[in-house]
Structure 1
Amino acid sequence: MKTYFGALAALAVVASGAPALADTLFNSGAAIPGSGGPDLAEFNAADQFTLVKASTITGGTFDFSDSSGTLPANLTYTFYANGGVAPHGPPGTALATGALIIDDSFYIGDPGQTPHYKAIFTLASAFVADAATQYFFGIHSPSFADDVSWVESNFRPAVGFYEASKFDDPSEPTHWRSEDQTLAFSLTGAALPEPASWSLMIIGFSSLGAMLRRSRRRPATG
Structure 2
Amino acid sequence: MMRYDFLLVVAAAAAAAVPAQAANQLLFSSGGPDGRMASASGPAPGDARETETADDFVLGRASRIAGGQFTGLVPLGGASVQQVEIEFYRVFPGDSANPPSGRVPTRENSPADEDFAARDSAAGELSYRGALGNAPFTVANSVVTGINPLPGVFTGGEGAVTGQLLTVDFSFADPLLLEAGHYFFRPEVRLSDGTFLWLSAAKPIVAPGTPFVPDLQSWIRDSGLSPDWLRIGTDITREAPFNASFSLTGSAVPEPASWAMMIIGFGLVGAALRRKAAIA
Q: Per the shorter chain, which TM-score range?
A: 0.7 to 0.9
Of residues 25, 28, 38, the one that matches 1:36 is 38
> For each residue in 1:170-198, what CA deviation from the matched residue of structure 2 results, as whole angstroms up to 9, or x when unmatched?
45xxx322212211101111111123311
8 Å CA contact 2:64, 2:175 repeated in 1? yes
Which residue of the partner structure matches residue 153 of structure 1? 201
TM-superposed CA distance for 1:210, in Å, is: 0.5
Which residue of the partner structure matches residue 214 of structure 1? 275
Segments of structure 2 that go 5 or more residues without pairing to the other structure are 44-49, 95-106, 121-125, 139-161, 206-214, 234-241
Which residue of the partner structure matches residue 152 of structure 2? none
| Residue type of the alignment partner of 1:115 | Q
Between 1:31-40 and 1:176-185, the stretch displaced more is 31-40
Alignment of 1:31-110 (within 5 A): 31-33=33-35, 35-41=37-43, 42-66=50-74, 67-84=76-93, 88-99=109-120, 100-107=126-133, 110=136
Q: How many angstroms apart in 2 are the aligned matches of 1:213 and 1:102?
A: 49
Q: How many angstroms apart in 2 are the aligned matches of 1:11 and 1:69?
A: 51
Q: How many angstroms apart in 1 are the aligned matches of 2:29 and 2:204?
A: 17
Report SS of the residue matched to 2:116: strand
Between 1:19-28 and 1:146-155, the stretch displaced more is 146-155
Q: In the alignment, is residue 124 of structure 1 matched against residue 173 of structure 2? A: yes
Provide the aligned C-alpha RMSD in A: 2.8
Question: How many percent identity over aligned positions?
Answer: 27
8 Å CA contact 2:41, 2:187 repeated in 1? no
Segments of structure 1 that go 5 or more residues without pairing to the other structure are none
TM-score normalised over the length of structure 1: 0.81
TM-superposed CA distance for 1:73, in Å, is: 1.9
Report SS of the residue matched to 1:94: coil
8 Å CA contact 2:71, 2:198 repeated in 1? yes
Which residue of the partner structure matches residue 138 of structure 1? 186
Report SS of the residue matched to 1:159: coil
Distance 1:33 1:140, change over 3 A: closer
